[in-house]
Amino acid sequence: MAELRAVNHDAKTNKEISGIDMPVIGLGVWMMNQPGECLQAVTDAISIGYRLIDTARAYGNEKEVGQAVRDSSVPRDEITVVTKLRRVHAVGYESTIENCRLSLELLGLEYIDLYLVHAPPEDPTAREPVWRAMEDLLSEGMVRSIGVSNYGLHHLEHLKRYARVLPSVNQVELNPWIQRRELHQATRDIGALTMAYSPLARGQKAQDRQLESMCEGLGFTAPQAAIKWCIDNGAIVIPKSSHPGRQLENFQSMDVDLSRIIDEMNKLDSNHVSGWDPTVEP
């Protein structure tokens, strides 16, 4: 499967401190709220071939994700587990360390592959101590890679002033309807990857008429085109589905050739925010 390397660089020397190879597509597990739903979905996804799972403390399903990963016949080191420091816990150094420990306990895993600050801490003065704790979690080996989520241009600029280690990933909403060219470039400029969440705009664009008509006769679906658009733009993409049929459809988007419609797709950008957008917060 195609992979991208997520690298944490030393902020001063730009030397690689840690790097992990991640598949370009993973399963998102937000809104898997029924008991057992997430366990089943992750189990199905792993058997389809998914090797990256994106969860968060806020989703309330780290336990089921960990169980599915541990119970699968796929070796642990072949699955990338991503989880996130919840915003209400991103208040200082100690809280960051404690909540990472708790996530490890809930997951029942020895390490987290990628740990993200879920959104810029609401108190700007907490951003530096929270990040310092993330750096220490990395050096202690509790996590293999550290990154951020929902950081806008000004959040990244600020982070560059206090970070000793630069993030490997910025996870943001990204899809043909919200293309964020400037933020994507700023993320690359600090040596990080963009991880595209809500590639179907939380499902709001799964049956988008305009995209459906572009895909007509080409042998792939509109959701596959939206997902592949993210990959073709150099991002890792994490569509959510609780259904094996749609998980497979989404997974197979890797094989889609968008060359005949890419110019048209690039015109779909309408800055469509499907839910929250902390990138524009102070």
Ligand X SMILES: NC(=O)c1ccc[n+]([C@@H]2O[C@H](COP(=O)([O-])OP(=O)(O)OC[C@H]3O[C@@H](n4cnc5c(N)ncnc54)[C@H](OP(=O)(O)O)[C@@H]3O)[C@@H](O)[C@H]2O)c1
- Residue 48: CB atoms within 10 Å: 14
Please report how close the Cβ of residue 203 comes to ligand X at its closest, in angstroms.
Answer: 3
What is the enclosing helix (H) or strand (E) of 44? helix 37-48
- Indicate the residue among 17 and 195 with the shorter CB distance to ligand X: 195
By rule CB under 6 A, what string of x and - marks binding of each residue 176-195 to ligand X? --------------------
Report d(CA 3, CA 52) in Å as an integer: 11
- Give the residue carrying structure tokens 């400037």: 182
Tell me the β-bridge partners of 161. none
Of these, 240, 256, 261, 279, which contacts ligand X (CB under 6 A)?
240
3-state secondary structure of 163: coil
Tell me the closest approach of the beta carbon of residue 62 to ligand X, in angstroms: 12
- Whole-number minimum distance, CB 246 to ligand X, in Å? 4
Task: Taking each helix axis as running N to C, give the angle between helix 127-140 and helix 93-107, from 0 to 180 degrees, rounded to the nearest 10.
Answer: 50
Q: Check residue 242 for interaction with ligand X (CB under 6 A).
A: yes
Q: Which of residues 37-96 bind ligand X (CB under 6 A)?
A: 54
DSSP 8-state assignment for residue 198: -
Position closest to ligand X via CB: 28
255 contacts ligand X (rule: CB under 6 A): no
Tokens linked to 276: 């929250």
Site string for ligand X, 157-176 (x = CB under 6 A): --------------x-----
Q: 114 with 145: CB under 8 angstroms?
A: yes
Does residue number 223 form part of the binding site for ligand X (CB under 6 A)?
yes
SS3 54: strand
Ramachandran bin of 156, using left for φ above 0, alpha for ψ from -120 to 50, beta for the remaining angles: alpha
Within 10 A of 155 (CB to CB), how many other CB atoms are there? 25
Q: Is 238 in the site for ligand X (CB under 6 A)?
A: yes
The answer to whether residue 197 is catalytic is no
Whether residue 169 contacts residue 145, with contact meaning beta carbons closer than 8 Å, is answered with yes
Question: 100 to 139, contacts with ligand X by CB under 6 A?
Answer: 118
The single residue among 60, 203, 234, 244 that binds ligand X, judged by CB under 6 A, is 203
Q: Candidates 63, 154, 158, 246: give the one binding ligand X (CB under 6 A).
A: 246
Question: Residue 67 or residue 175: which is nearer to ligand X going by CB?
Answer: 175
Residues classed as catalytic: 59
Residue numbers at the binding site for ligand X (CB under 6 A): 28-31, 54, 118, 149-150, 171, 197-203, 206, 223, 238-243, 246, 249-250
